[in-house]
């Protein structure tokens, strides 16, 4: 099924604001944030930083994901293995089931612009509900890599 006939679907080319990359590099290299949430600006032409936080409580991160709209996030995920403590940066595409279809389509078609801007992501996960981005789901994903 082609989506080009739908009035809300366009092959949108969005720019990634330089602050998005700067914040990611700070998280990766200097550990100044635990997570960063990104969104499209109001005109849907640029990806911008929505929020960053140093809070290491994973439930706080989940609370910052909107229940009815899409976002992207990077999370500095800490976990334990038999070899010791590890960290991986996880890229999360958040597209909840009850988000508007237009938003889902726009975020989906714009994801690669942001994802390609980040070097050093250890895992990627997509979530349509909180169970799919739970701490356990991320742990399962990073342990399988």
- Specify the CATH number of the domain 16-144: 3.40.20.10
Give which of 65, 22, 48, 54 is closest to 110, Cα–Cα: 48
Give which of 67, 132, 71 is closest to 107, Cα–Cα: 71
Domain boundaries, the chain: 16-144
pLDDT at residue 145 in the model: 62
Q: Are 135 and 102 in contact (CB under 8 A)?
A: no
pLDDT at residue 13 in the model: 72
Q: Average pLDDT over the chain, rounded to whole?
A: 91
The DSSP element (H or E) to which 22 belongs, if any, is helix 18-25
* DSSP secondary structure, 89-143, as one string: EEEEEE--TTS-HHHHHHHHHHHHHHHHH-S---EEEEESSGGGGSHHHHHHHHH
Q: Are 138 and 124 in contact (CB under 8 A)?
A: no
Taking the model in full, what pTM does it have? 0.89
- How do residues 1-37 score in pLDDT, each as one tens digit? 444 444 444 445 789 999 999 999 999 999 999 999 9
């Amino acid at each position: 099924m082609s989506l080009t006939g739908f009035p809300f679907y366009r092959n949108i080319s969005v720019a990634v604001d330089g602050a998005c990359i700067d914040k990611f590099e700070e998280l990766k290299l200097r550990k100044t944030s635990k997570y960063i949430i990104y969104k499209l600006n109001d005109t849907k032409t640029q990806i911008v930083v929505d929020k960053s936080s140093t809070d290491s409580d994973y439930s706080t991160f989940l609370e910052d994901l909107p229940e009815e709209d899409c976002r992207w996030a990077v999370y500095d995920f800490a976990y334990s293995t038999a070899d010791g403590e590890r960290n991986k940066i996880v890229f999360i595409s958040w597209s909840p089931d009850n988000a508007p279809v237009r938003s889902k389509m726009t975020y989906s078609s714009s994801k690669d612009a942001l994802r390609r801007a980040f070097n050093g992501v250890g895992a990627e996960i997509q979530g349509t509900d909180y169970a799919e981005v739970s701490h356990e789901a991320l742990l399962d994903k990073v342990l399988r890599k």
